[in-house]
Amino acid sequence: MDFTRIVFLFFLTWVFYGVVRSALSYQRKRDFKYLLAVCLFLLLASDLWLRAYEVRLQAFMDAFRVILSFVPVGAFLAFNYLEEQKLREKAGREKVTAFFSRYVSPHVVKKLVEKGRIDVGGKRKQVTVLFTDIRGFTSLSEKMQPEEVVDFLNDYFESSTRIIQRRNGTIDKFIGDAVMAIFNAPLETPNHAEAAVLSALEMQEDFERQNAAFKKKHPGESLGVGIGINSGEAVVGNVGSKSYVEYTCIGDTVNTASRLQGKAAAGEIVVSQATYALLPQGKYPPARVEEVVVKGKAKPLKVFVLTLKSCRKALKALKQK
Amino acid sequence: MKTAFFSSSSLEHLAAHSSLALALFFLAASAIILSFPTDFSASLQQALFSAAVLFLGLAAAAVTSWTASRLLGSRTAFKAFFVPTLGAFTASVTAVSLPLGVLGILVFNSLLGDPRLGALLFSIVPFYNYVVFGWACEECSGLKHSKGIAVGLLGASLVLALYLLLGVLASTQ
């Protein structure tokens, strides 16, 4: 065997390796450039292979005719297989999304399933952050049976989640009896401030129903929700370690929203000036406008206190829609 | 068998269950299948000689690939590299070479009466074996990008070199 032929065989091996390597990369990443590489390597490989073995064109054509007769059957089987695989993949994705949506926001799960991996890190984004807290619940829960507390909270979280997710919001976390939600991340929501305010109003309305049921069981006791909303830039993304990550939102915008929630009395929604400026003018009249001093801020903040009563018109219009 | 069709999870499974006995089994199986005489004109002595060369050559190819991968920065233990790479090669020989060899002989030689086409089909099979071995080396090394590809190409080339050596030895005997 001469040296040229040996070199040729090594080259042919590397080209075949290129075919397989590109095909495997395409299978993993679904990137078109790998498919192109497969085609190019295949062309090169077939050309080299035929040259290496000095096969006459006629012999090749004879074999090709036999192979061609199987093409329709092969194509049908391949098509069927690909379709089945697509359906299986889709079903698998839906199963994963449905399962993990109970732990993480469905928007986040959907994004992760689409991406196929979790990148730790975040990016700056304009968001609206909403914080809620049940006033007086901690002290009252001491008088209640633990099962009753859990039932009440589950009912409250269930309705809050439904309301927030309906307006494309993302539940960031439940902290005791408090809820933290983000709007405009990961799902783009152009009217994120209004979506947050509407969610807050609906949550207040829904809590009235829950409170009525609670009063029947505990005469003389009453509960209410205080909500704080703020808009601004924050870092949104996956924060944590390689083995445990949390999709969350970090920044001064979040801290301020939390502080505003602390200023809201039962039944009130305290909205920052930044959020209120993003709302359609005059659509959500405040019950009062005031300046509040919050921890970590040197200057008092101008806030707009909304209530069900002050925004009844907006809620009515929403229901008619 | 899935390793013959580039299943990474099967390769990981082999790495997790690697043992000396399994490595010897893979080496022996590959050597016996590949040195099996196809035209029965070769003597038993020749077949045994080829089997011995294959046995040692394959082991040497795996050891060399592992050494190269370690030099390039791989942290894979020898056992976790040696057994899966040989397992993948044996699987490709058993699941691809054998059936295609039979198909080549039956369909082209007997039915179509043109042995050239059988030879043409069968000539591509060894390349599949080289590529499977190379791919297994790349996967087991755990190296990414160009370093991983270098280990894969080296593995494939070493098995090709072994086949060429075997051809030279057979012609000189």
CA distances from A235 to A126, A195, A240 (A): 9, 20, 14
Residues 6+ apart with CB under 8 A from A284: A197, A276, A306, A310, A311, A314
| Amino acid found at B131 | V
Residue A107 within any structural domain of the chain:
no
pLDDT in tens, A205-229: 999 888 888 888 888 788 899 999 9
Q: Are residues A31 and A168 in the same domain?
A: no
Which residue in A307, A213, A312 sits closest to A265, CA to CA?
Answer: A307
Identify the pLDDT of residue A69. Answer: 67
CA distances from A266 to A136, A141, A163 (A): 9, 17, 19
Domain count, chain A: 2
Residue A150 within any structural domain of the chain:
yes
Structure token pair of residue B104: 């080549």
Q: Are residues A91 and A123 in the same domain?
A: no
Out of A1, A20, A55, the one facing B116 most closely (by C-beta) is A55
Asked if pLDDT for residue A158 goes beyond 80, the answer is: yes
Lowest mean pLDDT among A103-112, A126-135, A205-214: A103-112
Which residue of chain B is at minimal alpha-carbon distance from A28? B8
CA angle (A66 as vertex; A73, A16 as ends), nearest 5 = 85
CB contact under 8 A, A1 and B6: no
Residues 6+ apart with CB under 8 A from A304: A270, A271, A272, A273, A276, A286, A289
**Rg value, chain B, Cα:** 16
Q: Are residues A265 and A301 in the same domain?
A: yes
Lowest mean pLDDT among A75-89, A102-116, A267-281, B12-26: A102-116
Q: Are residues A54 and A128 in the same domain?
A: no
Q: Are residues A58 and A138 in the same domain?
A: no
Q: Are residues A75 and A140 in the same domain?
A: no
Q: So where are chain B's domains?
A: 2-35+45-172
Q: What is the DSSP letter of B4?
A: G
Burial class (CB in 10 A: 0-12, 13-18, 19+), A41: buried
Q: Is the dihedral of CA A137, A143, A146, A151 positive or negative?
A: negative
Residue A110 within any structural domain of the chain:
no
Average pLDDT for B21-25? 87
Q: Which of A15, A20, A27, A51 to mutate to test the interface with B (most CBs of B within 10 A)?
A: A20
Q: Are residues A160 and A301 in the same domain?
A: yes
Name beta bridge partners: A183: A128
Average pLDDT for A77-91? 81
Asked if pLDDT for residue B5 goes beyond 60, the answer is: yes
Give dist(CA A10, CA A153) in Å, integer.
69
Helix (H, G, I), strand (E, B) or coil at A8: helix
Minimal C-alpha gap between B164 and chain A (Å): 8
CB contact under 8 A, B149 and A10: no
SS (H, E, C) A42-94: HHHHHHHHHHHCCCCHHHHHHHHHHHHHCHHHHHHHHHHHHHHHHHHHHHHHH
Q: Are residues A81 and A179 in the same domain?
A: no
Model confidence at A254, pLDDT cuts 50, 70, 90, reads very high
Model confidence at A231, pLDDT cuts 50, 70, 90, reads very high
Which of A69, A100, A131 represents a domain boundary (last residue)? Answer: A100
Q: Are residues A182 and A243 in the same domain?
A: yes
Task: Indicate yes or no: pTM above 0.80.
Answer: no
Range of the domain at A222: 119-320
Residue A256 within any structural domain of the chain:
yes
ipTM over 0.90: no
What residues of B are in the A interface, CB distance below 8 Å? 6, 108, 112, 114, 116-117, 119-121, 123-124, 127-128, 130-131, 134-135, 149, 152-153, 156-157, 160, 164, 167-168
Q: Are residues A127 and A90 in the same domain?
A: no
Q: Are residues A136 and A51 in the same domain?
A: no
Out of B114, B124, B131, the one facing A17 most closely (by C-beta) is B131
Q: Are residues A216 and A288 in the same domain?
A: yes
CA distances from A171 to A107, A159, A162, B38 (A): 10, 12, 10, 68
pLDDT in tens, B83-106: 899 999 998 888 887 787 777 667
Is the bond preceding A186 in cis, omega lying within 30 degrees of 0? yes
CB contact under 8 A, A13 and B149: no
CATH number at residue A189: 3.30.70.1230
